[in-house]
Amino acid sequence: MKIALGTVQWGLNYGISNKRGIPSELELDKIFATASANGINLLDTATSYGEAESRIGNRSSGKFRIVTKIGSISKDNSVEQQVKKSLENLKTTSLYGCLFHNVNELLETPSMWGEMQGQKKEGRIEKVGYSLYHTEELERLLQLNFIPDLIQIPFNLIDQRFEPYFKQLSEMKIEIHVRSIFLQGLLLNFEMMEQDKFLEWSPIWKKYKDWLNETNLTPLEACICHAEHHKEITNIILGVEQLSQLKEIILASKKKSIEAPKAFISTDQKLINPLSWL
């Protein structure tokens, strides 16, 4: 299954549409059991996600591949120290993947790429890579010959900036993990679309609603089926705070994949970058 679980909500109160907060221990146990039973075997986390790594470590029992992301590097907080700390938190001896959370730091200090590769050679990491926000970052990193095993990028019905790179990345055997397929919940919430700050894009919302009616898909199904349609995408990272959300996602992922109309696409940073909504 392409679905992977994002875990930021397990350690922090995160997301504009998250009204429930951090899940309880019992709820998390249920989420883990249901994910495992349905073939979901990858978790995406980070050192900056509060207690998320530790909570995963108390439960994963080797059933899940884990991708984590390291934060700011300093003399007292090197790549090696952060990787070892993550392994300790996660109660494991090796990570499926480890990504640079802030590629600007990597671009400023290219030697960190060698340090991460060293951790791979030591057997602590199977795949190395980076989490990106902009296509320019990918182009610069590839020019530097920092060829990743895995990248994580934003991708959804509206924000498809990285799609032109999919074929090249796939041919290079680079795993593509996508996040933000609901655009921070906006694509699931018609009431949010009608807020003043989103009225500027009313023509997109009208086309989107018309298409949902034509296809008889729910917003959740449409977002997942569109991501599933792109064969080059390896994993679709979705955050859940409660079991009912996970069950909905699993059902939606079994629908036939479909490509959304190009008419929804926007490159307007005021819309596709949730940081600009504040």
- How many helices (DSSP H) and strands (DSSP E) are in the chain? 12, 8
- From the CB of residue 111, how many other CB atoms can be counted at a distance below 10 Å? 9
Extract the tokens encoding 154. 């934003």
Extract the tokens encoding 247. 């069950």
Residue 155: closest CA among 147, 166, 144, 146: 166
pTM attached to this predicted model: 0.95
Give strand pairing partners of 151: 130, 176
**What's the pLDDT at 278?**
84
In the DSSP assignment, the letter for residue 77 is B
**What's the pLDDT at 35?**
97
Q: Which residues of the chain have pLDDT under 50?
A: 16, 18
**What's the pLDDT at 43?**
98
Q: At which residue do the structure tokens 């199904």 appear?
A: 221
**What's the pLDDT at 76?**
82
Extract the tokens encoding 231. 């064969």
Instruction: Please state, in angstroms and rounded to a whole number, the distance separating the CA atoms of residues 252 and 220.
Output: 7
Q: Which domains does the chain have, with CATH numbers?
A: 3-277 (3.20.20.100)
